Amino acid sequence: MKRNLQIKELFLKNFDKPVTELKFKNLYELIVCVMLSAQCTDKRVNLITPDLFKAYPDIKSLANANLASLKSYIQSCSFFNNKAQNLIKMAKAVCENFDGEIPLNEKDLKSLAGVGQKTAHVVLIEWCGANFMAVDTHVFRVSHRLNLSKAKTPEATEEDLTRIFKDNLNYLHQAMVLFGRYTCKAKKPLCKECFLNHLCTSKDKEI
């Protein structure tokens, strides 16, 4: 469909090879950041992680973490109780099942506690540049407003976007995240300055 192709081209043109706003130095830090970022802002995660990574600098130290101590580092993050438990379980599984090396394929990543499809895809997108789409709240909102998907779930929305866009999915995912975060916001979207205004027929559109 011509319109979908135009949307794809405009995303790639307006966001030049975008990357996540999460701050990390290695694969271990990336997976922890992505797990923490579920239903939490990247800004908040970036405030939490410097002290967290000083206390637990690698997967082994996280696997041996005391649960109460770990919670104290991430308590300003949403769902910190669950996330703390999952982080320790994830780290233990990496140490026991993968010789301390975080796996870089979707199936093995999804075998880890707290790592669903979206988290696995984001890790593979950011670390490997994998041709995957990941659907968070921003991507879900943007794709529905732009009528790229009518699917009810993030997984089904991901299938729609993957089928429509086919390639450059890693960049398109991140472009849609940033676009949803700063332009096509949930409340008061900045429609007047939007580069997709002429292609958008959303009922949320601010004229």
Of 52, 20, 15, the C-alpha closest to 34 is 20
Q: Check 25, 51, 118, 160 and give the catalytic one.
A: 118
Calculated CA dihedral for residues 19, 177, 50, 38, nearest 10 degrees: -130
**136 in catalytic set:** yes
**Active-site residue identified among 13, 83, 136, 160:** 136
187 is catalytic: no
107 membership: H or E segment, kind and range: helix 106-110
Nearest residue to 170 (alpha-carbon basis) of 124, 136, 137, 116: 124
Q: Contact, 175 vs 125, CB < 8 A? A: no
The residue behind tokens 């895809």 is 121
Catalytic residues: 118, 136
